[in-house]
Structure 1
């Protein structure tokens, strides 16, 4: 014992003689701080209990859950019925990555989809498989992995083969070879009868958490959606049901469990839900998906004329209507008598026809012309109202397939 005390005194003398006071103070402070932050490594926890009480005495009473409220029961049953119609989709060209914290990061190309029919057709967003589509795959080529939830709660994996895709509406159709008992088609509702304030429910795969339900209301209608596919889609549904990365391609349902939209985008500055989500209305989905299944593409009706950009039209003092820039000689528009911009003998510009309405639906600019034409099919006969110089004319015309 005496030897230990002598060694301690000698060590203290060496420290005092060789290490300055300020350095000694810093060493002491660092050791105290380290001990505070890492105390569990060096000191056993000093727990105080009360051995005079029993576990039963300190356990609070537990109350039975009881029956759900009718509104809760309705939402629960709606989810349980429709969750099997929702699939998880993984772009085969993307892989999850492990970040420095050990958390698996879900690639942007992972999303959701819905079972469309018993033939194995799956509807999702174009941008969910956009990376694979950017490589120009052939119809029938595998572009994604599709996980379908079986009744026993197990996810079953299938190859998702490309059937067709439409970037303009941010929609794509895949096909899986799955047994009929696994395929539970979603019921499609009518988005045209939606009202602001009614219930909206989203099921999807946010951040890789499969079959997640979020509930909100329809916050707005006829919104313009700025999709991740790089296009603007009209007639969008706005909802405050939380929509996050991974929800894209999943269903937005009404209170009856009918599909009223395909979730596609969020308005956010952080990348996560800010209570402003958007869905492509089922009325649009119903126009696009059957064509993708039948033709592998969308056949759109058009005039097949070139319309001047709004900037050019404004420079030519055209403030209302769509200015016809060029008319192909073999087109139905040329045969109907539609006139393009030309030049006079002196080199001056002679304005072409200005389309101001189609079947009494007003056309104020180029974008509105294309929007009005979306309601028509190839072969439909329309009545154009045009301005030609100082004249207002009506011109009947048959729509043909819009050139790509």
Structure 2
């Protein structure tokens, strides 16, 4: 892998960073900072240390929320910015604990936007922020700030062959975190909608449906996948997969989807039970198909 994580494996204990997000003591950090650990201690700006409890995590986006029982006057929540307004060349400030050196600030600029970064398995986080501010092991989970002190990202990974900063760092955009945090606090995990399509192929026209989940929302809505045809060849019957019979998805509502990430990002921004309109190519004609997303429906409390 070329996207090495900041936090390196340490036999007995590891260090990472995070930020207070409310007066209730919730702390946002990276999932890989707390993954497989038995105990987590959080040290605040005043040197006071508190044992943390697990609240929830989203391994797909490498985010996690933990909580400490601390007096409200000791908790100073970070101000959330807007990562959709960022521009290349903007000044940024990374705060964290590199190599265990507490409350370290480094500066730099946004080097690029809309990068894609594989974090866990084959899942990709879109719209990753690339920075040149020095970040090292221990910076994971710390905030990336703009010049007004607002958090615009969560420092997550570096491009390095040595495990130390080479001037290419990556941060998860804060807008993604703002979508995830409420679900982690309320449910302990992210409730993602299900569309019932398990595989698609990218084509020049759109996303060709390669496999449907039997009985899933897409099949129930009438979306067509590849068809199996039987042909007699002499004394034998041969089965042939006809992919030309499958639908090609070109838009979800009014948004064009050219890649798998476009499609996943659009669907995962919805809630189970929402209805979307798929525009598909079927036998050379555009057809619209309303589809009700499945999945675990959030309970109203």
Q: What TM bracket, shorter-length normalisation? A: 0.7 to 0.9
User: What SS does the aligned partner of 2:164 have?
Assistant: coil
For residues 74 and 195 of structure 2, the distance between their equivalents in structure 1, rounded to whole angstroms, comes to 44
Q: Within 1, Cα distance between the matches of 2:218 and 2:168?
A: 42
1:401 and 2:289 aligned: no
Question: What is the deviation of 1:126?
Answer: 0.7
Corresponding position of 1:197:
89
Alpha-carbon separation, structure 2, partners of 1:269 and 1:213:
23
CA contact (8 A) 1:187 1:258 kept: yes
Whole-angstrom CA distance in 1 between matches of 2:230 and 2:119: 47
Give TM-score scaled by structure 1 length: 0.64
Asked if residue 324 in structure 1 is aligned to residue 209 in structure 2, the reply is yes
Instruction: Specify which structure has the higher proportion of strand.
Output: 2
- Say whether the 8 Å CA contact 1:127–1:229 is kept in structure 2: no
Residue in 2 that maps onto 1:51:
none
Q: 3-state DSSP class of the match of 2:230?
A: coil
TM-score normalised by L of structure 2:
0.85
Name 1:356's counterpart in structure 2.
250
Q: Deviations over 1:258-314 (max 9, x none)?
A: 111111011122211111111111100100111100110001223122224x4xx7x
CA contact (8 A) 1:251 1:263 kept: yes
Check 1:170–1:229 CA distance in 2 against 1; reply closer, same or farther (3 A cut): farther
Moved more, 266-275 or 331-340: 331-340
State the Cα RMSD in Å: 2.5
SS of 2:12's equivalent in the other structure is coil
Residue 126 of structure 1, aligned match among 31, 46, 56: 31
| Distance across 1 between alignment mates of 2:123 and 2:259 | 18
Report runs of 4+ in structure 1 exceeding 4 Å deviation.
228-231
The answer as to 2:69 corresponding to 1:177 is yes
Q: 5+ unaligned residues in a row in structure 2: which ranges? A: 1-6, 232-238
1:71-94 Cα distance to aligned partner (Å, 9 max, x none) = xxxxxxxxxxxxxxxxxxx99x95
Q: Is the 8 A contact 1:252 1:260 kept in 2?
A: yes
Structure with greater helix percent? 1
Contact 2:60 2:119 in 1 (8 A): no
**Preserved contact between residue 327 and residue 334 of structure 1 (Cα < 8 Å):** yes
Inter-partner Cα distance in structure 2 for 1:122 and 1:377: 25
Secondary structure of the 1:161 match is: strand
Cα deviation, residue 400, structure 1: 2.4
Q: CA deviation at 1:228?
A: 7.0
- The CA distance in 1 between the partners of 2:175 and 2:90, in whole Å, is 18
Give distance in 1, aligned partners of 2:41 and 2:275: 43
Match of 1:344 in 2: 229
Q: 1:94 to 1:185 in 2, by over 3 A?
A: farther
